[in-house]
């Protein structure tokens, strides 16, 4: 608790070169899944940091979609293809919208927050689905990304996009880990357990929720930009309730114990889904549903709780050591 | 005595029900004040109004001469008025140290530095020394849910004192504490608070505790103040004995008085 640079941050820094090396070692389809998972993993991170404050957002797809569509619209109408510029534009759009919506949402908790966030995301879904200029339900394609004037093509272009995705995702995860360790992170945990006491300690729970909501939106929008650039396409499904539900699914499956959990959880879910579809093409959702049910029953704090409990067992002194000590 | 807190004709109604009316109380710096009254007399309503949880329907609350009427709870806490609760309001899934660390983190009022760690070794030491002041440092790494009620009460109060308040409200600090431990509990508590010259208003049902620890007492009855003055005078007040204290304390004080009267007669 007192170290300035914790194990998670070291882990994330070490994971970066490992992830980059994987592109040369693993088959292309696996690397592609990792890349997509990193994009959607950022949205799951956004859901996760809100869950730490006791808030379940069933509409996080809203910001995933805002990120993707901002990049798409900038490419389509302004001719911008620079990934860094698109990322900044996606972040700005999401921050402005989340800041405004936050004044409404910060007043609600539990099911009311969940339903309101869902309602807002479904408004955007309705708008995009009925806008023919933006491809209606089919969406539209994005340009090939460039990087400060450099436009790599073919395999090199894919590798560069993968590397940038890894750097941005892990960089944001590192920043979010810092947020969780900051006063805001602690206040959020306190809000989840007892909001009345938080107010009686002298701080505004509403303001903390608002800031967290905006941060979650920004991270989710970055995920949306990266995901959209990886697939080269956006459509309104990005903000549909089924997409938002997946992010909640991942957060519950992976747990909220560590910033790395949603990123790993997203990749595992992608892999499970691939094999579930392979095994049972018509009823693969049943396999995912069963997995969810088992997780809730046996690991209510998610898969990360397995790692956390293993760490606790390793850290606890053995009985024989205690006896020797005596 | 220059009051740090003064309430003028404070009133709170819930529809047709008048929970408190004409509450006029002055509390001086460092003063210890006991509040008595049966359930529903308006004691907690009064504390809730002063601490901003309930806006008063009428009247004014002055803190150090300035009005704090209607201010939100967090602003009032920041001004130096804190409170503990009848049912301890803690973070139950965390341990005692983390509860204290959160309280200290909020009380430190650092500018929102999003990327700076909230906790460092210095803050942990500070939390442990605060726990030591209340004699509960040995529970630091124990989860709240596993603690006895008396310790939870002390953690609740310790958290309310992290910002060194000028005025502290304690809502029934000894409720849930066993009869044998009440006196020691209050001694620990009052000694810890006296060291900081904190003014304390505590609500209590045990008249022995009131007599032992508060030089001044206020009796509430049906939302109004029945008596306010030196504790002995208030407890001997006929109306207070009839409407607030009840027959149990009557018998107790009569028994204590009887031998003295007998000796005098002899």
Is any Cβ of chain A less than 8 angstroms from the Cβ of B102? yes
User: Taking the domains of chain A in order of start, what are their residue ranges?
Assistant: 7-264
Choice among A201-215, B17-31, B183-197 with the minimum mean pLDDT: B183-197
| Chain B contact set for A256 (CB, 8 A) | none
Least Cα distance to B55 among B4, B13, B116 occurs for B13
Sequence spans of domains, chain B = 3-89+164-265
Q: Of A123-137, A241-255, B12-26, B111-125, which gets the smallest average pLDDT?
A: B111-125
State whether B117 and A211 contact (CB < 8 Å): no
pLDDT digits (tens, 9 = 90+) for B100-124: 999 998 887 655 566 677 777 788 8
Residue that has been written with the tokens 């973070």 in this structure: B91
Please give the average per-residue pLDDT across A235-250, as a whole number. Answer: 92
The partner residue sitting opposite A201, judged by closest CB among B103, B110, B117, is B103
The helix or strand, by DSSP H or E, that contains position A6, with its residue range, turns out to be: none
Please tell me the predicted confidence (pLDDT) of residue B63.
94
Q: Does B224 touch chain A (CB under 8 A)?
A: no
pLDDT of residue A255: 87
% of chain A at pLDDT higher than 70: 94
CA B45/CA B24 separation, integer angstroms: 14
**Contact of A58 with A248, CB cutoff 8 Å:** yes
Mean pLDDT, chain A, whole residue set: 89
Token reading at B257: 């008085």
> By the CB < 8 Å criterion, does B160 face chain A?
yes
Tokens of B201: 């208003």
**DSSP one-letter string for A221-286:** HHHHHHHHHHHTEE-GGGGSHHHHHHHHHHHHHH-SS-THHHHHHHHHHHHHHHHHHHH-TTSHHH
Surface-to-core class of residue B222, CB atoms within 10 Å of its CB (0-12 exposed, 13-18 middle, 19+ buried): middle
Of A6, A13, A4, nearest in space to A311 by CA: A6
Identify the pLDDT of residue B201.
Answer: 94
Q: B98 to chain A: nearest residue by CA?
A: A186
The answer to whether residue A134 scores a pLDDT higher than 70 is yes
Give the ipTM: 0.84
Class for the domain spanning B3-89+164-265: alpha beta
CA-based nearest residue in chain B for residue A186 = B102
pLDDT above 50 for B67? yes
Closest Cα to residue B188, out of B133, B228, B150, B240? Answer: B133
Q: Are the beta carbons of A212 and A53 closer than 8 angstroms?
A: yes
Question: pLDDT by residue (tens digit) across A24-42?
Answer: 898 888 888 899 999 999 9
- Report, as an integer, the average pLDDT of A310-321: 60
Quote the percentage of chain B above a pLDDT of 70: 89
Stretch A132-150: mean pLDDT: 89
Q: What is the pLDDT of residue A269?
A: 86
Answer CATH for A7-264 from 1.10.3470, 1.10.287, 1.20.120, 3.30.70: 1.10.3470
Distance between CA atoms of B205 and B245, rounded to whole angstroms?
Answer: 9
pLDDT at A168: 95
Residue B254's pLDDT is 52
């Amino acid at each position: 608790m007192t170290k300035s640079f914790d194990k998670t941050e070291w882990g994330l820094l070490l994971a970066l070169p490992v992830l980059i090396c994987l592109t040369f070692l693993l088959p292309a389809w696996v690397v592609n899944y990792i890349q997509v998972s990193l994009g959607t993993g950022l949205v799951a991170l956004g859901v996760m940091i809100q869950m730490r404050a006791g808030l379940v957002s069933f509409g996080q797809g809203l910001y995933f979609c805002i990120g993707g569509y901002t990049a798409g619209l900038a490419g389509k109408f302004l001719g911008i293809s620079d990934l860094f510029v698109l990322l900044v534009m996606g972040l700005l759009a999401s921050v402005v919208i989340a800041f405004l919506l936050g004044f409404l949402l910060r007043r609600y908790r539990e099911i009311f927050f969940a339903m309101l966030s869902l309602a807002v995301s479904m408004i955007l879904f309705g708008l995009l689905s009925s806008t023919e200029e933006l491809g209606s339900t089919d969406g539209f394609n994005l340009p090939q990304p460039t990087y400060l004037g450099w436009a790599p093509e073919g395999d090199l272009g894919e590798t560069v996009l993968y590397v940038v995705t890894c750097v941005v995702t892990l960089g944001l995860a590192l920043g979010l880990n810092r947020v969780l360790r900051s006063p805001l992170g602690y206040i959020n945990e306190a809000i989840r357990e007892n909001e009345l006491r938080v107010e009686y300690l002298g701080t505004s729970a509403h303001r903390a929720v608002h800031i967290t909501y905006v941060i979650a939106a920004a991270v989710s929008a970055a995920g949306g930009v990266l995901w959209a650039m990886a697939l080269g396409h956006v459509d309104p499904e990005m903000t549909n309730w089924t997409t938002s539900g997946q992010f909640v699914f991942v957060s519950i499956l992976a747990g909220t114990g560590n910033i790395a959990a949603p990123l790993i959880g997203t990749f595992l879910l992608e892999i499970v889904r691939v094999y579930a579809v392979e095994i049972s093409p018509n009823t693969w959702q049943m396999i995912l549903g069963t997995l969810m049910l088992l997780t809730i029953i046996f690991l209510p704090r998610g898969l990360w709780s397995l790692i956390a409990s293993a760490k606790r067992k390793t850290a606890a002194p053995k009985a024989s050591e205690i006896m020797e000590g005596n | 005595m220059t009051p740090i807190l003064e309430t003028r004709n404070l009133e709170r109604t819930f529809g047709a029900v008048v929970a408190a009316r004409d509450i006029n109380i002055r509390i001086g710096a460092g003063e210890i004040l006991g509040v008595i009254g049966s359930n529903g007399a308006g004691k907690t309503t009064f504390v809730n109004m002063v601490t901003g949880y309930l806006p008063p329907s009428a009247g004014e609350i002055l803190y150090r001469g300035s009005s704090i009427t209607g201010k939100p709870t967090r602003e009032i806490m920041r001004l130096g008025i804190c409170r503990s609760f009848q049912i301890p309001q803690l973070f139950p899934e965390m341990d005692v140290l983390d509860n204290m660390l959160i309280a200290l983190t909020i009380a430190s009022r650092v500018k929102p530095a999003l990327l700076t760690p909230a906790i460092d070794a210095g803050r942990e030491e500070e939390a442990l020394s605060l726990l030591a002041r209340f004699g509960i440092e040995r529970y630091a790494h124990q989860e709240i849910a596993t603690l006895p009620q008396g310790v939870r009460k002390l953690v609740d109060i310790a958290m309310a004192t992290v910002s060194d308040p000028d005025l502290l409200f304690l809502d029934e600090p000894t409720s849930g504490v066993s009869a044998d431990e009440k006196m020691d509990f209050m001694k620990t508590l009052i000694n810890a608070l006296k060291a900081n010259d904190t003014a304390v208003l505590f609500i209590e049902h045990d008249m022995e505790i009131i007599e032992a620890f508060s030089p001044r007492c206020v009796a509430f009855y049906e939302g109004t103040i029945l008596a306010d003055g030196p504790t002995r005078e208030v407890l001997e007040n006929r109306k207070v004995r009839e409407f607030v204290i009840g027959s149990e304390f009557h018998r107790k004080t009569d028994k204590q008085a009887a031998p003295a009267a007998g000796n005098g007669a002899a």
